[in-house]
């Protein structure tokens, strides 16, 4: 993972390519159009398993270097996620720099679509933070390499219910590994983030009789969800200290760090957020050493991309659901492998994802 502070010296020291190659990216494309205000970067990490698919993030980055860092990190994450899910997809991601509330326009999105089209199918875009299915329809006017279009247009629609389903099944598999039973009845889940995924996940947990402790940056969202599914609300900092069985990070990345891992009073971490480990190696090990089972984020939050992939193949809700259900046995296998090898669950997931890419690369050579 590249931190911003690592990237700036890399540019200054003329070592940007070294950085990109260390992370294994194939190409990084800068897209500019002053007329519409478009400043975008398309990161294509790998096309070994298929076209690089990953969402379009529209974000007000303070510095251009932050946007480069984000796109490199996220594109690599998509390679791992798509590989671990067994999809015929490589990994990529795009970012548009700017405040979407201020600069997003149909013309800017169409122009971005032209840049995606220019990649000739090596990159397929989709929605992400700051973009919506409606935005994808403008991009689609210029390229067919855009997925996640609304259901009423024959697309796969909102990926969140599928992501939540995958996380829920992964929680059950994790409970099976830790407690010997996958029932979540009576278990307490500390849910961070009452957004799209968090809400669908909470509904499934409530149906199964789990107890919920909910936190959201916007307290009213947490209160609303607690009213809807039952449960108690705690502050954004308190969520790390509550006694629970499972901590489910469904808000931001990097919430597992030296401070929070020491505070957790749970047996399992299993949530939808991307890049949960602030430092993959260090904090993956710290969680293991504390005897907490960590469900690797990029494996268990693949439900959304599995659903989007089905859209590329020809949308079929039942097939997408079946594929999401395979996360349960995949995760149990992964836990067994990690234990047998004495490595962290994150390392085991990384190995699984990278092995598939390396084998495909070798077969092509
Ligand atoms: P969302 O924006 O709908 O919800 C996130 C929620 O987290 C918001 O309600 C926000 O207020 C809250 N939040 C932000 N900072 C917080 C903090 N410090 N403490 C507590 N709550 C905080 O997003 P989402 O679509 O539900 O996605 C949740 C996470 O899962 C994100 O990290 C996303 O990248 C990841 N993810 C989502 C999908 C998907 O299909 N939506 C797929 C894969 C991964």
User: If DSSP states are collapsed to H, E and C, what string results for the chain?
Assistant: CCCHHHHHHHHHCCCHHHHHHHHCCCEEEEEEECCCCEEEEEEEEECCCCCEECCEEEECCCCHHHHHHHHHHHHHHHHHHHHHCCCCCEEEEEEEECCHHHHCCHHHHHHHHHHHHHCCCCEEECECCCCCHHHHHHHHCCCCCECCCCHHHCCCCCCHHHHHHHHHHHHHHHHHHHHCCCCCCCCEEEEECCCHHHHHHHHHHHHHCCEEEEECCCHHHHHHHHHHHCCEECCCCHHHCCECCEEEECCCCCCECHHHHHHCECCEECCCCCCCECCHHHHHHHHHHCCCEECCHHHHCCHHHHHHHHHHHCCCHHHHHHHHHCHHHHHHHHHHHHHHHCCCHHHHHHHHHHHHHHHHHHHHC
Mean pLDDT value across residues 335-356: 97
pLDDT score at 6: 58
Distances (CA, A) of 128 to 69, 122, 177, 242, 305: 17, 19, 32, 30, 11
pLDDT score at 1: 44
pLDDT score at 129: 86
Q: Please tell me if the CB atom of residue 1 comes closer than 6 angstroms to any atom of ligand 1.
A: no
Q: Which residue has the higher pLDDT, 21 or 175?
A: 175
Q: Which residue has the higher pLDDT, 203 or 19?
A: 203
CA of 251 to the centre of ligand 1 (A): 3
How buried is residue 196: exposed, middle or buried, by Cβ count under 10 Å (0-12/13-18/19+)?
middle
Phi, psi of 82 (to 5 degrees): -65, -35
pTM of the model: 0.92
Mean pLDDT value across residues 57-72: 93
The two tokens of residue 331 are 């995760």
The two tokens of residue 84 are 């671990």
pLDDT range class, residue 8, cuts 50, 70, 90: low
Mean pLDDT value across residues 175-186: 98
pLDDT surpasses 60 at 3: no
Using most ligand atoms within 8 A of CB, pick from 148, 193, 213, 226 the residue to mutate for ligand 1: 193
Q: Please tell me if the CB atom of residue 218 comes closer than 6 angstroms to any atom of ligand 1.
A: yes
pLDDT averaged over every residue in the chain = 94
pLDDT score at 12: 65
Q: Which residue has the higher pLDDT, 137 or 152?
A: 137
pLDDT score at 130: 92
CA of 35 to the centre of ligand 1 (A): 32
CB 166 within 8 A of CB 300: yes
CB-based contacts of 180: which residues, under 8 Å, 6+ apart? none
pLDDT range class, residue 13, cuts 50, 70, 90: low
Q: Please tell me if the CB atom of residue 95 comes closer than 6 angstroms to any atom of ligand 1.
A: no
The two tokens of residue 181 are 């039973």
pLDDT score at 149: 84
Cβ count within 10 A of residue 253: 16
Q: Which atom of ligand 1 is nearest to the CA of 198?
A: 26
Greatest Cα-to-Cα distance within the chain, rounded to the nearest angstrom: 60
CA of 333 to the centre of ligand 1 (A): 27
Whose alpha carbon is nearest atom 20 of ligand 1?
A: 216
How buried is residue 195: exposed, middle or buried, by Cβ count under 10 Å (0-12/13-18/19+)?
middle
142 flagged as catalytic: no
Catalytic residue among 93, 104, 172, 288: 93
Share of the chain above pLDDT 90, in %: 85
Mean pLDDT value across residues 69-88: 95
Ranges in the chain annotated CATH 3.40.50.720: 160-302+330-353
Say whether domain 160-302+330-353 belongs to CATH 3.40.50.720.
yes
Ranges 126-130, 147-151, 272-276, 314-318: which has the least confidence: 147-151
How buried is residue 318: exposed, middle or buried, by Cβ count under 10 Å (0-12/13-18/19+)?
exposed
* CATH domain 14-75+90-146 topology: Rossmann fold (3.40.50)
pLDDT surpasses 90 at 14: no
pLDDT range class, residue 165, cuts 50, 70, 90: very high
Share of the chain above pLDDT 70, in %: 96
Q: Please tell me if the CB atom of residue 196 comes closer than 6 angstroms to any atom of ligand 1.
A: yes
Ranges in the chain annotated CATH 3.40.50.10860: 14-75+90-146
CA of 37 to the centre of ligand 1 (A): 27
pLDDT score at 357: 96
The two tokens of residue 21 are 């190659």
Whose alpha carbon is nearest atom 27 of ligand 1?
A: 197
Interatomic CA distance for residues 138 and 157, integer angstroms: 15
Q: Please tell me if the CB atom of residue 217 comes closer than 6 angstroms to any atom of ligand 1.
A: yes
Q: Please tell me if the CB atom of residue 225 comes closer than 6 angstroms to any atom of ligand 1.
A: no
Mean pLDDT value across residues 170-199: 98
pLDDT score at 2: 47
Using most ligand atoms within 8 A of CB, pick from 195, 239, 296, 300 the residue to mutate for ligand 1: 195
Mean pLDDT value across residues 273-288: 96
CA of 131 to the centre of ligand 1 (A): 13
Mean pLDDT value across residues 281-309: 97
pLDDT score at 46: 98
CA of 362 to the centre of ligand 1 (A): 37
Q: Which residue has the higher pLDDT, 14 or 159?
A: 159
The two tokens of residue 307 are 């659903």
């Amino acid at each position: 993972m590249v931190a911003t502070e690592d990237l700036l010296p890399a540019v200054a020291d003329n070592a940007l390519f070294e950085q990109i190659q260390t992370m294994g990216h194939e190409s990084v494309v800068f897209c500019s159009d002053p007329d519409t205000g478009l400043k975008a970067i398309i990161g294509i990490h790998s096309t070994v398993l298929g076209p690089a698919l990953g969402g379009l993030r529209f974000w007000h980055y303070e510095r251009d270097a932050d946007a480069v860092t984000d796109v490199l990190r996220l594109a690599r994450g998509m390679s791992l996620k798509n590989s671990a899910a067994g999809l015929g997809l490589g990994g990529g991601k795009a970012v548009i720099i700017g405040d979407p509330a201020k600069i997003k326009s149909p013309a800017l999105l169409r122009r971005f679509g032209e840049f995606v089209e220019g990649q000739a199918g090596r990159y397929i875009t989709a929605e992400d933070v700051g973009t919506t299915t409606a935005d994808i329809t403008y991009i689609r006017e210029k390229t067919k390499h855009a997925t996640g279009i609304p259901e009423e247009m024959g697309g796969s629609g909102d990926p969140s219910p599928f992501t939540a389903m995958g996380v829920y099944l992964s929680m059950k598999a994790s409970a099976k590994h830790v407690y010997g039973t996958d029932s979540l009845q009576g278990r307490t889940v500390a849910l961070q983030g009452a957004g799209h995924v968090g809400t669908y996940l909470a509904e499934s947990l409530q149906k199964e009789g789990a107890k919920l402790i909910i936190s959201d940056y916007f307290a009213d969202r947490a209160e609303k969800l607690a009213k809807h599914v039952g449960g108690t609300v705690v502050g954004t900092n308190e969520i790390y200290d509550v006694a629970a069985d499972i901590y489910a990070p469904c808000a931001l990345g990097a919430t597992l760090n030296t401070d929070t891992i020491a505070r957790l009073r749970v047996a399992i971490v299993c949530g939808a957020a991307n890049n949960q480990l602030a430092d993959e190696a260090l904090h993956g090990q710290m969680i293991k050493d504390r005897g907490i089972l960590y469900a690797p984020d990029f494996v268990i939050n693949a439900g959304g991309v599995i659903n989007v992939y089905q859209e590329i193949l020809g949308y079929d809700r039942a097939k997408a659901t079946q594929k999401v259900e395979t996360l349960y046995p995949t995760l149990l296998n992964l836990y067994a492998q990690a234990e047998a090898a004495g490595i962290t669950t994150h390392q085991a997931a990384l190995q699984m994802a990278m092995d598939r890419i390396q084998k495909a690369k070798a077969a092509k050579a």
